[in-house]
Amino acid sequence: MNIVNAGSRYQIYGEDVKTYKRLPLMSFEICFNKMAGFYLSSRPDLAVNEEKIYGNHEVKVNKVLNSFKYSDRNLGVILSGQKGIGKSLFARILSHHAIESGYPVLLANTYVPGIADFISSIEQEVVIIFDEFEKNFSNNSDDHAGPSPQEEMLSLFDGLDNGKKLFVITCNEVDRLSTYLLNRPGRFHYHFKITYPTEEEIVEYLTDKVKPKYASGIKDIVNFSRTTNMTYDYLRAIAFELNQGYGVAETLEDLNISQTSNVRFNITITTVNGDVYNTYGVSVNLFSNPNADHKRWYDGYASDSKTIRYALTPDSIKIEKGMITADPKKVEIYIDPDDFWTISNVEKRKEAIEKAKNERVIKSVVLTKVANTIEQYLY
């Protein structure tokens, strides 16, 4: 029998009781019991089961741990992005390297009032991971009184306690995060927006995962990726289907994947007289029934300040040999008669409108998917 005394409280434990000055190098889950309060429960380390890591996760993980090493206060990291895109993999890689670097890992997956004070009481350098923070620490919950869950955590994230900690939160819906967490590098130093794999990464992944005798389908999947946002979760499922001998068309038709994700395109329109008009970063639905959608007009701008207004419908889109184009005959051009109000003579106004129509006859329309990276804003 072992008796442990803390303040006025005495508890009896078995012969296997141990005491530590510091948490062992392992993983824990933060738990709560109404009778015992908060405590840590040991759990298996977050495993990295992938034989090969795609993308730049390893580079970013090393950057985070290096910054934490040299920081004199808490360091925060936000991992945001669509489900299945790689946030959890990033967290597992970070957890693995953190333990190798001498930092115990704590998982906080459930909000209970007072959890911030409990975490603050741990006077040791640790990594604390909050999975799906916007859901598990939702500000919309009515199950608690006092400050909202995310507001309660602010003083903890700010580093006002005595221990230095690395906080990592994963998030599927950024708009459900408190505004006090975003755009605050003093509170969360990094915000890694986990992006969709590039064409090169898609080819690399599928080449590794798809059996050689079915590899001919890879180019079709790459072609499809130019019209929708692909995740590694999608690619894993696609490779699984192809390896069973199912065709690409059947695979994309049957799988539980979205073909209406928010993809943005740059659009280049060339007219028969050689004018070139560009529209940047617009959302175009390539798949919905054109009769079910309200018509959306886009503005194209030429280098000489001329503009063109046009409408695309899904049935005008063609995808051939890696190019996304629109049938010029199905692209509607809008000529606003009010633009010619200064021409008082009715016949001359009609002639001007007809001339504008003839000048804007479309020769070609090319769509290019915009990469979801910061580089598109840098020059």
If you write DSSP's letter for every residue of 192-251 in order, what string do you get?
EEPPPPPHHHHHHHHHHHS-GGGGGGHHHHHHHHTTS---HHHHHHHHHHHTTT--HHHH
Q: Look at residue 24 and give its three-state secondary structure.
A: coil
What tokens appear for 324 in the block?
Answer: 């996304």
Cα distance between residue 125 and residue 99, in whole Å: 11
Look up residue 370 and give its DSSP letter. P
Closest CA to 248 of 286, 287, 218, 292: 218
Bridge partners of 127? 105, 166
Tell me, what's the pLDDT at 69? 93
In CATH terms, the fold of domain 17-192 is Rossmann fold (3.40.50)
User: What are the residues whose beta carbons fall under 8 Å from the beta carbon of 122, sequence distance 6 or more?
Assistant: 23, 106, 163, 165
Per-residue model confidence as pLDDT tens for the chain (379 residues): 877 777 777 778 788 878 888 899 999 999 999 888 999 999 999 988 888 888 889 999 999 999 999 998 899 999 998 888 889 999 999 999 999 999 999 999 999 999 999 999 998 999 999 999 999 998 765 555 567 888 888 888 887 566 789 999 999 888 888 888 888 888 899 999 988 888 899 999 999 999 999 999 998 888 788 777 888 889 999 999 999 999 988 888 888 876 655 678 899 999 988 889 999 988 876 655 544 455 788 899 988 888 888 888 777 877 766 678 888 888 888 887 777 777 888 888 788 878 777 778 889 999 888 865 444 443 3
Cα distance between residue 369 and residue 372, in whole Å: 9
Please state at what angle helix 232-242 crosses helix 199-209, rounded to 10 degrees: 40
Domain boundaries, the chain: 17-192, 199-254, 264-377
State whether the Cα torsion 80-85-88-92 is positive or negative.
negative
User: What are the residues whose beta carbons fall under 8 Å from the beta carbon of 374, sequence distance 6 or more?
Assistant: none
User: What are the residues whose beta carbons fall under 8 Å from the beta carbon of 368, sequence distance 6 or more?
Assistant: 265, 266, 267, 268, 324
How many residues does this entry show for the chain?
A: 379
Q: Count of alpha carbons within 13 Å of 85, Cβ hemisphere only?
A: 20
Q: What is the pTM of this model?
A: 0.73
- Sheet strands side by side (includes 27-33): 37-43, 27-33, 105-107, 126-130, 165-171, 75-80, 190-193
**Virtual torsion, Cα 214, 219, 220, 221, nearest 10 deg:** 90
